[in-house]
Structure 1
Amino acid sequence: MDQQLTLTELIETASQSLKADGITVEYIKQLSCTWNSLERYLATHNLPFNKENCTIFLEEMYGISSKQNYANLRAIDKRRKRAICILVNCADGLSLYRKKTYWTFNFSESYETIFSDFIDERKSCNLALATINRDIYTLNHFSEYLQLSSISDLANISPKVVQGFMKWLSISKNLPTLKSATSTMRQLLRFLYRKEILPGDYSSAVPTVKCRKTVPSVYGKDEIEAMLNSFNRASAVGTRNYAMVLIAVRLGMRSSDICGLELKNIHWEKNTIEFTTKKTGEFTILPLTADVGNAIIKYLKEIRPNVKDEHVFLKMQAPYTKLSSVSLHYMVTKAFRDANVVVASGKRHGPHALRASLATAMLENEVPLPVISETLSHSNTDTTKIYLKIDMHHLRKLALEVPDLTGVWMGGVRI
């Protein structure tokens, strides 16, 4: 490691680089706790800054061994290890964050061309990196299964082969992985049918995998309004953040769609916001309500940097690029905290909770399920039905009377 900067200078350089990348000040402060601790440790032991000493520091101070799997670390220990990796990369002149890329193809030569064409088509739909990697992961396993089954020609795939693959995959994979695989397999089988490789659409042969869904996290009207009122709309950042969070509250848009919103998506003459969702690819038209429109106009006229980037919401410092979904999650979380809204343990407190809260409010107002599904850009109403679990307004009407317990033995005593 070619050490050219002092550790203090290195920490300052890393901080400024992270700020330029749009990392929140709050998160950089959390990283600084580890950096400051490292400074004290090296000074106390009279050690130079290098990768080896950083590894020793993590193990002695926090019990984080270099042999431990990163995924198995506690959240706070992940952040501590990430803080050290950032400094090491900064000293080596490398990217502070490891850039996420597409997974490697492990397709057999017999299927490589067709499977690669399928992945290219999926990429052309502007799907998320995680979705494409899910497809690659499934196809890598499907390729392995076809080889084990001595199927060298994709034209020989049958419904029985599809079901056999899912059964084979279930032996070593958990339910969420199987559910993800079903989505990829249905898309692949439709693709093979369109390309006339298969004589029919076998997507219906893919079995349905159901995972246990948790109860959505929702907040009441008073809590939502208190959260919105916590924004300092006299400041530039507060004005921008308020507009973004208000869109999530009033329209229920996903964080990826809010951050990806472009100027062309807002149709002022029709009072609508029209866009294609990142997650489902559904084309969605939402009403541009008066308060949302006014918040966006205030931001565009008074705050937004005058740059060529077509995204509506941009970072406040150069480079003026679009914000990430993580940034919006932080805005919502901080707003709840500033409003002194009590967030129970395990309860969500980000943009998704605002979607769930909107869906619940719509159910209380007797809005039909298909309308709610369309508003939230769900691909089908089955996804929307999860909100029926928290529709207390209607569930109370179905409550049964508690039976009379007279004459029932409880704890050895007749009541």
Structure 2
Amino acid sequence: MYQNYDIGVNKIKKYLGENCFSNSVIYSHLHCYRSFKQYLVEKQLIYTHEEALKWLNLIKSSWKHSKFKMFRLSLFHLNDIIINDSIHTDSYVYENSSNYDRLPDWSRLLLDSYLNHISNSFSKGYVRQHRITCSEFLIYFSLIAAKSVRDINHKNVIEYFNQSKHRNVQSKNLYNCGIRHFLKYLSDKAFILKSLSYTLNPFVICRVIIIDELPNSEKTNYINCLNQTSIEISPDEYYSIAKELGGIYLERHNYSKTMKNLFKKAWRELYIFLEANGINYSYKIAHYWCVCLKEYTVQWKAYRRSIKLFEQYREFGDINPNIVYSYKEYSINILPGWSRRLLIDFLLKKQKEENSASTVNMYRSSCLRFLKFMDKKEILSCAMISPKIIKEFHVSDPHSTAEARNAYSVRIRQFLGYLADLGCVPATLQLALTTECAQKSVIVEILTDKEIASVYTFKANAKNSMELRQTAIVLIGLRMGLRASDITGMKLANISWKEQTISVQQQKTNKFLKLPMPVEVGNSLYRYIIDGRPCGDSHYVFITHRVPYGRLDTSCCKRALAKVLDKKKTGFHITRRTFASRMLKTKTNTETIAVSLGHSDNSTVFKYLSTDADTMRKCAISLKGIELKGGMLL
């Protein structure tokens, strides 16, 4: 029953010995043949090559990959010697012959065409590897009963990726890379959709959304977006515009390599989404797609920004990186009509009183909390607001500290006072909001001499653009006493190099301030502007070092101080307190200090008296009459 099998095994043993194969190779071949014959005897099967491959696949999961490859080679040698009475010396023939030979005609013709295309540019080994890779890919489509190249679609490619098994991630990535080249060839020939060649990527394929496979609620949202769309363009037209934008205009506006790659990735993945679902591009569907990516990537906001840039370019033929978009609904709009109108009028009044934008925002957020609570309690007019409701709000309103609660309550009381002036509520209603803590007197903290010395050490060693910016910011705060908001709001036109002055319109008080510019501040500013500041159209002195080169946030001043001192302090305002304290120590009169700080009077200067330790010692009160006389001190 196994006569031919045993004859074939003996011929292979003789061949391996005559051709000086190692003992380990000969042993591996014979071990394979013994194991397979034992399997045939136990199952009472006759030898066929198909049965050998079936046995091989049945038990390969329990072997190391090296053992599997050796056994596979041994079985192909056996088949070759039985059929052709010879052994092929090229192992690649054995490794891929099973998949390639099983391919249907339509897929084999495609593969042969592709292999012939790359054979003129690459080595035989590279072509053979692609033959193995693509045969495995195409055999999957034959197993799912694909009839032509048109059956290669996004859904099937995703299913192939999920079910394909490899010995490790590197091997799977290598296979998929070869298949992507094959798909690119097919898309160039217009046999398949172009985005398919981008789909088979481990970092992309997990984020491909197929609308038909979504839950009904999510599917309905997409359908609603499609129904509300009026202006559409085809996926190919969309991606053509996106490639032009990414190839020219991102570079023109000095975007970093990271951001350029991120935006291009976003546009490419949207292209995949559009073609995978057979829908056209519209802003509404693209925006909703970005929002749904919350479940797949933390970079979804950058994807949303990329769509805004695309819309800019599509409408104006260029992009403006300085435009900041708000995606949230204006919070006041969610209020009912009666309270919305009152709050808008109150905020307009505060603006006319020349309050800063940040102060008006604080009024808005405080009153919004109050009015949302009123709406929750089904209050329909001012007449329904009672002290009991106000106290209930005060107790339930969450705050981290008593001071924070007071800050909000003060502004709500002013709003209630405004309503009282209009005759909408009683004048005493605001008294229902209680104060939970009194004002505190705290010890003024300033920089020590050692810390000030470290600022100048950092200045001397500053080299790169970020360090030059940090040095200039800290020195302006330390030597001129400007607030962080005034430093970040400073414009190039505010610096007079001829007069050696800096002029600012203080953002907190809206008062104009013109100060002499110390030489070391001027030198640091000049060095930053010439050697460190990015080239851009912004009028601000201190700008971000990444596109869109806009005005810095005030928190950058605090981070600059922490970097210069190499430790965290209470905040950037400590430089302003240090500036005032140093002037006080040099016997500068309080009026001059108040003017330098931009204060309207000198009363606020008195809190810095405690920082002048030498002068404070002269004011010490005698302890005569209250001496310690003994006994237990309780």
**TM range, normalised to the smaller chain?**
0.5 to 0.7
2:476 is the counterpart of 1:218: no
2:85 aligned residue: none
**Compared CA separation, residues 318 and 165, structure 1 to 2 (3 A):** same
Query: Which secondary structure does the structure 1 equivalent of 2:541 belong to?
Result: coil
CA distance in 1, matches of 2:439, 2:516: 33
Q: CA deviation at 1:139?
A: 5.3
In structure 1, list runs of 5 or more residues that go unmatched.
Answer: 21-84, 338-342
- Measured against aligned partners, the alpha-carbon deviations of 1:15-70 in whole angstroms (never above 9, x if no partner) come to 9459x9xxxxxxxxxxxxxxxxxxxxxxxxxxxxxxxxxxxxxxxxxxxxxxxxxx
2:610 is the counterpart of 1:363: no
Aligned Cα root-mean-square deviation (Å): 4.9
1:271 aligned residue: 500
8 Å Cα contact 1:126/1:278 also seen in 2 = no
Query: Which secondary structure does the structure 2 equivalent of 1:398 belong to?
Result: coil
1:104 aligned residue: 331
In structure 2, list runs of 5 or more residues that go unmatched.
Answer: 1-198, 208-255, 263-293, 306-324
CA distance in 2, matches of 1:283, 1:364: 26
| Matching of residues 304-315 of structure 1 within 5 Å | 304-315=533-544
- Residue 514 of structure 2: which of 271, 285, 309 is its match? 285
Query: Which secondary structure does the structure 2 equivalent of 1:273 belong to?
Result: strand
- Residue 593 of structure 2: which of 372, 388, 391 is its match? 372
Report the residue type matching 1:182 in the other structure.
V
**Compared CA separation, residues 400 and 181, structure 1 to 2 (3 A):** same
CA distance in 2, matches of 1:3, 1:370: 72
1:410 aligned residue: 632
Query: Which secondary structure does the structure 2 equivalent of 1:89 belong to?
Result: coil
CA distance in 1, matches of 2:595, 2:329: 31
**Compared CA separation, residues 325 and 102, structure 1 to 2 (3 A):** farther
Report the residue type matching 1:312 in the other structure.
V
| Matching of residues 246-261 of structure 1 within 5 Å | 246-261=475-490
8 Å Cα contact 2:505/2:512 also seen in 1 = yes
Report the residue type matching 2:478 in the other structure.
V
Q: CA deviation at 1:250?
A: 0.6
Q: CA deviation at 1:335?
A: 1.2
1:332 aligned residue: 561
Give the TM-score taking structure 2 as reference length: 0.41
Query: Which secondary structure does the structure 2 equivalent of 1:281 belong to?
Result: coil
Query: Which secondary structure does the structure 1 equivalent of 2:502 belong to?
Result: strand
- Residue 616 of structure 2: which of 369, 391, 395 is its match? 395
Q: CA deviation at 1:265?
A: 2.0
CA distance in 1, matches of 2:582, 2:344: 44
Query: Which secondary structure does the structure 2 equivalent of 1:274 belong to?
Result: strand
- Measured against aligned partners, the alpha-carbon deviations of 1:116-166 in whole angstroms (never above 9, x if no partner) come to 133356579694557504433235526867999x99579xx9xxx9x9999
2:468 is the counterpart of 1:239: yes
8 Å Cα contact 2:351/2:360 also seen in 1 = no
CA distance in 2, matches of 1:134, 1:5: 49
CA distance in 2, matches of 1:351, 1:140: 30
2:406 aligned residue: 178
CA distance in 2, matches of 1:142, 1:300: 47
1:89 aligned residue: 298
CA distance in 2, matches of 1:333, 1:318: 24
CA distance in 2, matches of 1:186, 1:16: 48
CA distance in 1, matches of 2:465, 2:509: 33
2:579 is the counterpart of 1:352: no
8 Å Cα contact 1:266/1:272 also seen in 2 = yes
8 Å Cα contact 2:477/2:575 also seen in 1 = yes
Report the residue type matching 2:299 in the other structure.
C
Q: CA deviation at 1:214?
A: 3.4
- Residue 365 of structure 2: which of 116, 136, 151 is its match? 136
Total equivalences in the alignment: 321
CA distance in 1, matches of 2:584, 2:418: 35
CA distance in 2, matches of 1:130, 1:102: 21
8 Å Cα contact 1:146/1:152 also seen in 2 = no
**Compared CA separation, residues 92 and 250, structure 1 to 2 (3 A):** closer
Q: CA deviation at 1:239?
A: 2.5
8 Å Cα contact 2:347/2:363 also seen in 1 = no
CA distance in 2, matches of 1:87, 1:357: 49
CA distance in 1, matches of 2:475, 2:373: 48
Give the TM-score taking structure 1 as reference length: 0.59
- Measured against aligned partners, the alpha-carbon deviations of 1:385-406 in whole angstroms (never above 9, x if no partner) come to 4434444333322223445756
- Measured against aligned partners, the alpha-carbon deviations of 1:182-224 in whole angstroms (never above 9, x if no partner) come to 256558968997xxx57xxx9xx99998432532321134421
CA distance in 1, matches of 2:614, 2:419: 44
Report the residue type matching 2:630 in the other structure.
V
- Residue 228 of structure 1: which of 449, 456, 472 is its match? 456
Report the residue type matching 1:409 in the other structure.
G
**Compared CA separation, residues 175 and 219, structure 1 to 2 (3 A):** closer
Q: CA deviation at 1:361?
A: 1.4
Q: CA deviation at 1:101?
A: 6.3
Bigger RCO (CA 8 Å, 6+ sep): 1
1:117 aligned residue: 345
Query: Which secondary structure does the structure 1 equivalent of 2:544 belong to?
Result: coil
| Matching of residues 32-111 of structure 1 within 5 Å | 88-90=297-299, 94=303, 104-105=331-332, 107=335, 109-111=337-339
CA distance in 1, matches of 2:300, 2:452: 44
**Compared CA separation, residues 300 and 407, structure 1 to 2 (3 A):** closer
- Measured against aligned partners, the alpha-carbon deviations of 1:283-323 in whole angstroms (never above 9, x if no partner) come to 32222222222322233334333321101122334332222
**Compared CA separation, residues 361 and 192, structure 1 to 2 (3 A):** farther
Single out whichever of 265-274 and 100-109 deviates more from structure 2: 100-109
Considering only CA atoms, is the larger Rg found in Structure 1 or Structure 2?
2
